[in-house]
Chain A
Amino acid sequence: MENIDAARLQMAFTLIFHIVFACIGMVMPFFMVVSHKKWLNTRNPIYLTLTKSWQKGVAIFFVTGAVSGTALSFELGLLWPEFMKHSGPIIGMPFSLEGAAFFVEAVALGFYLYGWKKIPETFHWFTGIIVGISGVMSGILVVSANGWMNAPSGFDYINGEFLNIDPVKALFNPAWFTQALHMTLAAFTATGFAVAGIHAYQVYKKRNVELHKKAFKIAITFATIAAILQPLSGDLSAKDIAERQPVKLAAMEAHYETKKGAPLYIGGIVDNETQEVKYKLEIPNALSFLAFGDFNAEVKGLNDFPKDEQPNVAMVHYAFQTMVGLGSLLMIAGMLFFVAKYKKKSWFNMPKFWLLFALLAPLGFVALEAGWIVTEVGRQPWIIHNIMKTKDAVTPMPGIVFSLYTYIAVYTILTIAVTWLMARQIKFLNSVKTNEA
């Protein structure tokens, strides 16, 4: 394996894991404080049991997220020294603020986890809110740094040098808002469906039904609201990409020839040699409309760009289709919950209803990872869009493939361990009587 491929795979692999841990660690505190608030309001012990078991989940995912994030902060430099040497000073601001937000989160979490019966009740609950808010802030800041790679700004690039650096402008780069909004909503959708799905499965299995139903409702409410807002945010992102990174948009849609009134392809098999997409569903003029709000707008095709400046079209296209498809599916499923809640209460007694949500549990994260593949693979061959190529940023140290294997081994074990741990938490939760907790 080439060094650069090993480095890219290692980066992708660690990011895929970190994203899952970080999203759960960032969103679950919100579920936890809602349940905590319900406990304070109703004094129903079920909510206390639930809050305490979710707080363990938060702690476990916070730490796994923190250590995998620490790993990434090292890896950026270790794998891409040339990139960090030049961009470190420019995109330092989101990272230093992220460090601060993360610190606030750690302090607040210290209070929350160890503060039961030691600090005043309302203040204790409030520290949980701080955990959630600072977690979301961290996420937004890191995504802003990624946005800068897609929309480099805040400097002048003259003769291969980065001059007149303005870190504030780099932080508020043109991509930060659309990306951060899309990612925050995605985190809520994915985590919400995952948590709701796990509790739905417990209801389906008729274990501790009352508690799991309450847990399900909290998680699915967040998830559904986020899933319904997500297409609007996706639309903003698409229009933004059409402006700034037309080649990425073309790859997402496997759109080869520049055309006015371009059609939208749904699904299909991409053949990059013959530049054809087989077995697709075609909606005339829809791509032009989605990208520019005009059915007859001109959409640039891949052939307008040199071959060596195009990403892997098939991979980006499939990932994009996966993200949109699963996102839509989840949105519809979330609406089913609202129908059940307000119109068809009887659905809550149907095992099929719970089985459906149990099956949907992993799909939010699949969509979320697919989305990151779209934005990261879609940016290739650039590490900094139109400025620095990924192959020029990689470490000169040979043998990265061994580092890759080590990471794969460690992270695989970690995943198995965390999954096993979560299963034990749920088993434990089902075995205790509520008022004992």
Chain B
Amino acid sequence: MIYVVLAFLAISLLLYVLLAGADFGAGIIELFSSKENQAINKKTVYQVMGPVWEANHIWIIILIVILWIAFPHYYNILVLALHIPLTLVLLGITLRGVAFVFRYYDAYKDSSQILYDWMFKTSSLVTPIFLGLTMGGVVSGDIINPSQMENHSFLEVYVHSWFNVFSILTGFFYAALCAFLASVFLIGEVDDTSKSMYMRKASIATIVVVSLGFITLAYGYLSGIAFVVDFISNIWSISAIVVSGILLFPLWKSIKSGRRIISRALAGIQIFFILFAATITHFPNILFTTTGSISIYEQPVPDSVMNVLGISLLVGGVLIIPGLFHLLKSFKLIKLLER
């Protein structure tokens, strides 16, 4: 049953990174757009993401709940060491969610929209940066093991764990990835004039993602971060990254020829490879402290807990997935047929 739970954990992580990522990215694109393009983007985001917007963000709750039920020891270390960035992620999610609703549901469209838009765009950038920072913190190797916390200062335990160059680079890398995803997703949703705008955004985002990815890995390798060093010398993860990079070429081809389903699938596969590369080398030891890595299996929960969780997830999945699929179909594929 642990594999069912792990599968759901992996799926939730992938879908959150992908769907919420595209969501964040839409805001980032808007932040870096001219006034005219901002208006186009605002309308597109409403049409495309409105119906599925809430569903996109529930994956993180599923993720958190699985972690605390099935891997409480692992979760415990995360919430202690990464308290501050996680709190900031939360504030970001809160402000962004509220701004999203305000800007589309306010009864009057007046000057207050300027404030909502500003809130939406800024939190769209800040949230994924801190999210990426948190993910970077998990693997950067600066987390202090809770058993040794007493011998360290506040800064060492609660700040250095995530406020380091590698984690910050990871944060910016993830934000760029979000912008990349959003532009690829949105290209298929607009008319030809706006299309070129998103194409331009997509190419900028691609360049930023590739260079930031390279810088992050190079920095990690040069400063001897165990996670990155092992990652680069592992044949599986390095090939996954290379494949993910190569996929950019068919992706661009398919964007240009307007095959949006294939473009989206390719972008999704790229993210899958990046996450695969990040976890395969060390799994199940995917948390790095100053004194070595920690396994997600450490201090396992009893089978009874794992079984009940697995069954709940399966039942929940059976209930939700057809509905979710139907939702996507009703609002996206139907529109495709109409064209």
Q: Which A residues have a C-beta under 8 Å from some C-beta of B?
A: 56, 59-60, 62-64, 66-71, 73-78, 81, 84-86, 88-90, 92-93, 95-97, 99-100, 102-104, 106-111, 113-115, 118-119, 164-168, 395-399, 403, 406, 410, 414, 417, 421, 424-425, 427-429
Contacts and interface: CB of A to CB of B under 8 A. Distances in A.
B65 A71 contact: no
A71 B90 CA distance: 6
A119 B329 CA distance: 12
Nearest to A82: B76
Nearest to B87: A403
A62 B105 CA distance: 12
Interface stretch (B180-188, B265-273, B301-309): B301-309
B51 interface: yes
Tell me the dominant secondary structure on chain B's binding face: helix
Given A92-B309, A104-B320, A425-B107, 5 more contacts: A74-B79, A85-B75, A95-B68, A421-B107, A429-B107
B327 A64 contact: no
Q: Give the residue among B98, B157, B309, B320 with the most A Cβ atoms within 10 A.
A: B98
A70 B59 CA distance: 11
A73 B67 CA distance: 11
Contacts of A165: 301-302, 304-305
A88 B94 contact: no
Interface stretch (B28-36, B162-170, B231-239, B311-319): B311-319
B204 interface: no
Contacts of B249: none
B11 interface: no
What 10 pairs between A and B have smallest CB-CB spacing?
A: A92-B69, A100-B316, A428-B107, A88-B68, A106-B54, A77-B79, A67-B97, A110-B51, A107-B323, A114-B51
B90 A88 contact: no
A410 B98 CA distance: 11
Contacts of A60: 101, 105
Contacts of A110: 51-55, 327, 331
Nearest to B79: A77
B86 A100 contact: no
Contacts of A395: 79-80, 83
Interface residues of B, number: 62
5 contacts: A67-B94, A89-B72, A89-B302, A107-B323, A114-B50
B176 interface: no
B80 A397 contact: yes
A425 B51 CA distance: 21
A86 B65 CA distance: 14
Given A92-B69, A424-B107, A103 B316 contact: yes
A93 B309 contact: yes
Contacts of B50: 113-114
Nearest to A75: B90
A99 B305 contact: no
B61 interface: yes
Contacts of A119: 330
A180 to B, nearest CB: 18
Given A84-B68, A88-B69, A165-B305, A102 B61 contact: yes
B72 to A, nearest CB: 5
A96 B65 contact: yes
Nearest to B101: A63
B59 to A, nearest CB: 9
Contacts of A410: 91, 94-95
B100 interface: yes
A397 B98 contact: no
A74 B68 CA distance: 10
Interface in B28-87: 50-55, 57-58, 60-62, 64-66, 68-70, 72-73, 75-76, 78-80, 83, 86-87
Contacts of B97: 63-64, 66-67
Contact of B320 (A63, A64, A103, A417): A103
Contacts of A70: 57, 60-61, 90, 93-94
B314 to A, nearest CB: 10
Contacts of A64: 97-98, 101
